[in-house]
Amino acid sequence: MGRTWKIHDIAQRLNKGDNWMRKDILNNSRYLDDLRRMEEETVWKPHGASPWMFKATTFAQWLEEHLTAFPMNGTEVSNRKDGEIPMYLTDKQVIAIKRKRGELNLSVVALGRKLNVSRWTLDNIFKRNHRKVTPATYKKLSDWLIDEYATQDLKDSTAVATQDK
C-alpha cells in the first residue's frame, strides 16, 4: 500500500486547515467524480469513525495537477492571468513593510484596507514567512513603501529647510 496521508497531512501541505480540506476539496462537487474514480486504489472514505486515507504518491500527483483550481483565500487561483509569474518578497522588503506599518501604527487589517490586499495575505507574509506573492500584491506593497518613504523624506526635507530660515 505504501505511505498514506490523512486529511490533516494534506491540509498542512496546502497550508490550510482540515475544515478547508473537507469543504473545498472533499465535498466540492467539482472534484467528486475524480475522488470517486480514485476510490479503492487512492482514496478511502471513512466508514463510521474511520478517517479519510489517501495514497500519498498518487494523491500528491492529483493535488499537483489541480492546485491552480483550488479556491484559496476566498478566490480561485485559476482567476490569475495566464502567464502571470509570481513575485518573491525579500526579507529586507518584509522588514521594511513591518517597520513602516509599526511607525504608522497600522493594524494588519488597516494596512490591508489601505492597500486593497487581503489581511490573510499580509498575515501569511508577516507571520508564516510566505514570500511568494502575485505581481499585483508585490506592486501594491512596493508602491506603498516607496510612497511612504518618499513622503517622509519630503517632510524631513521641508522641516530642515524651514529650520534654516
The answer to whether 89 and 131 are in contact (CB under 8 A) is yes
Q: Coil, helix or strand for 80?
A: coil
pLDDT digits (tens, 9 = 90+) for 121-157: 999 898 877 888 888 888 999 999 998 888 776 666 6
The answer to whether 80 and 27 are in contact (CB under 8 A) is no
pLDDT digits (tens, 9 = 90+) for 24-75: 888 877 788 888 888 777 777 766 666 788 888 888 888 887 777 776 654 4
Q: For Cα atoms 118, 122, 124, give the angle at the middle one, nearest 5 degrees.
A: 110
Residue 76: band (very low, low, confident or very high) from pLDDT cuts 50, 70, 90: very low
Spell out a b/e string for 48-82, using b for 16 or more CB atoms within 10 Å of the CB, else e.
eeeebbbbbeebeebbeeeeeebbbeeeeeeeeee
Average pLDDT for the chain: 79
- Grid cell 505511505 is found at 3
